[in-house]
């Protein structure tokens, strides 16, 4: 591929032509990517969600929750995928585990934070009413924690879907297959697949935002979810 081929607007228009010409291929690759992302997110949820909620309920080991988020942010996804590749070999399992590790950070941190930070007076009042620990968790802490908890899941999901194309270098399949294979698909295909990846992760972001608004208890909606989208990040 030459630079002259690269740097012109026609390639960008060709990319849309590529999308129009290969809807089946792109849909199949997009589905592969969603399958991989779903599996990774499921694995991460299975591990991080109960752990984060339990630790938040007990107000213990805050260092673990904070540490995971810092480590998660600092670990380059490429390094993670490549490192797991050397241990687990090429294919679905390696990519699922690597992406799940990436997803663990935001889920665990937010699960911990959200339950840990529930208004202490509300919890005390519930205890005074004779609720058991489990009842407090189910009826007080979890409903109040929902917005922040779900933000963690949303961030993790978008991270996983956005990172999944990189897994193509380790046999991950998905739209990344097209992006890393310029020899077969030419630049128009690469850019076309990139546009699809972008649309896919934006779609996941918006869909999960919708679900998040849906599952948030009505009184909390306006104050938490909308403001949360443009929330500042903090360490």
Chain positions contacting other proteins, by CB under 8 A: 1, 3, 6-12, 15, 73-79, 82-83, 85-86, 158, 161-163, 165-166, 169-170, 176, 179-180, 187, 190-191, 193-195, 197-198, 201-202, 204-205, 229-235
Q: How far is the CB of 127 from other proteins (least distance, A)?
A: 30
Q: How far is the CB of 191 from other proteins (least distance, A)?
A: 5
Q: How far is the CB of 94 from other proteins (least distance, A)?
A: 10
Residue whose structure tokens are 């896919």: 200
Nearer to other proteins, 52 or 174 (CB): 174
Nearer to other proteins, 64 or 88 (CB): 88
The tokens for 113 are 């934070």
Q: How far is the CB of 78 from other proteins (least distance, A)?
A: 4
146-173 burial: b if 16+ Cβ within 10 Å, else e:
bbbbbbbbbbbbbbbbbbbbbbbbbebb
The tokens for 199 are 């649309």
Closest CA relative to residue 62, chosen from 52, 76, 73: 52
Non-local CB neighbours of 135 within 8 Å, separated by 6+ positions: 126
Nearer to other proteins, 122 or 229 (CB): 229
User: From CA 229, how far away is CA 235, in angstroms rounded?
Assistant: 17
Helix H or strand E encompassing 208: helix 182-215
Nearer to other proteins, 122 or 226 (CB): 226
Q: How far is the CB of 198 from other proteins (least distance, A)?
A: 5
Q: How far is the CB of 221 from other proteins (least distance, A)?
A: 17
Nearer to other proteins, 62 or 194 (CB): 194
User: From CA 170, how far away is CA 62, in angstroms rounded?
Assistant: 34
Nearer to other proteins, 3 or 134 (CB): 3
């Amino acid at each position: 591929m030459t630079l002259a081929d690269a740097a012109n607007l026609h390639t960008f228009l060709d990319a849309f032509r590529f999308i129009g010409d290969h809807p089946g291929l792109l849909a199949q690759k997009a589905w592969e990517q969603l399958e991989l992302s779903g599996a990774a997110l499921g694995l991460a949820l299975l591990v991080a969600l109960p752990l984060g909620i339990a630790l938040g309920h007990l107000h213990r080991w805050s260092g673990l929750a904070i540490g995971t988020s810092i480590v998660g942010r600092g670990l380059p996804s490429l390094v993670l995928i490549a490192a797991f590749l050397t241990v687990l070999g090429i294919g679905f399992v390696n990519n699922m585990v690597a992406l799940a590790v990436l997803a663990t950070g935001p889920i665990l941190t937010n699960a911990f934070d959200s339950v840990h930070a529930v208004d202490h007076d509300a919890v005390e009042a519930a205890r005074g009413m004779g609720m058991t620990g489990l009842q407090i968790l189910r009826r007080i802490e979890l409903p109040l924690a929902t917005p922040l908890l779900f933000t963690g899941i949303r961030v993790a999901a978008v991270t996983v879907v956005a990172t999944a194309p990189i897994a193509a270098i380790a046999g991950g399949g998905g739209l990344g297959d097209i992006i890393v294979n310029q020899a077969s698909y030419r630049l128009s295909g690469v850019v076309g697949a990139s546009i699809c990846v972008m649309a896919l992760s934006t779609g996941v972001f918006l869909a999960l935002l919708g679900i998040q608004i849906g599952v948030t208890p009505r009184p909390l909606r306006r104050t938490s979810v909308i403001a949360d989208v443009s929330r500042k990040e903090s360490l």
